[in-house]
Amino acid sequence: MRLEPLYTVSFAYPEHYLSRGPDALGLFFAEGRVEGKVSGRFRGSNHARLRSDDVYVPDFHGVIETDDGALLAFHLTGLARKSDYGREVTGTIVHSTGSERYERLNDAVCVLAGEARRNDIRLEVAELVWEKVES
């Protein structure tokens, strides 16, 4: 396998809610932009769970409206672990689109890594490309 860089997403949560009951659940509305092999407007909602060890577990759904007129839906999951500066984020993201230009992403698993510093989140997204395992 190999990683093929796809895009970088930078976004913020201008509106968010976090319950602090027996289960700490959040609802975060995201606005931002992606740049790279895919470029465009990024919007979504993250229904994250906060574990007792202070790790966020995102369940993030949204869309990318590309600069060339396509619409890509996405689902992102992963972990956001506490760090000195904020949070270290790792995870997976899958896309769904009817656009012929991006249809290969319908069958791609992508991975991501990045960081969250207060309300400034930046993630690097790469396509995980299958390659034959050598014997």
| Domain 2-129 CATH assignment equals 3.40.50.150 | no
pLDDT of the residue at 20: 79
pLDDT of the residue at 1: 92
Rounded to an integer, the average pLDDT of 102-106 is 97
pLDDT of the residue at 119: 83
Cβ-based neighbour number of residue 2 at 10 Å: 9
**Would the CA dihedral through 98, 102, 103, 106 be positive or negative?**
negative
2-61, pLDDT tens digit by residue?
999 999 999 999 999 988 777 789 999 999 999 999 999 999 999 999 998 999 999 999
pLDDT of the residue at 128: 97
State how far the alpha carbon of 115 is from the alpha carbons of 4, 56, 118, in Å: 20, 13, 10
CB contact at 8 A, 112 and 127: no
Helix %, strand %, coil % of the chain (to 5): 5, 65, 25
**Residue 92 half-sphere exposure toward CB, CA atoms < 13 A:** 4
pLDDT of the residue at 74: 98
Q: What pTM was estimated for this model as a whole?
A: 0.94
User: What does DSSP assign to residue 106?
Assistant: G
pLDDT of the residue at 21: 77
The whole-angstrom separation of Cα 3 and Cα 25 is: 32
Residue 95's nearest CA partner among 71, 115, 117 is: 71
Domain boundaries of the chain, sorted by first residue = 2-129
12-24, pLDDT tens digit by residue?
999 999 887 777 8
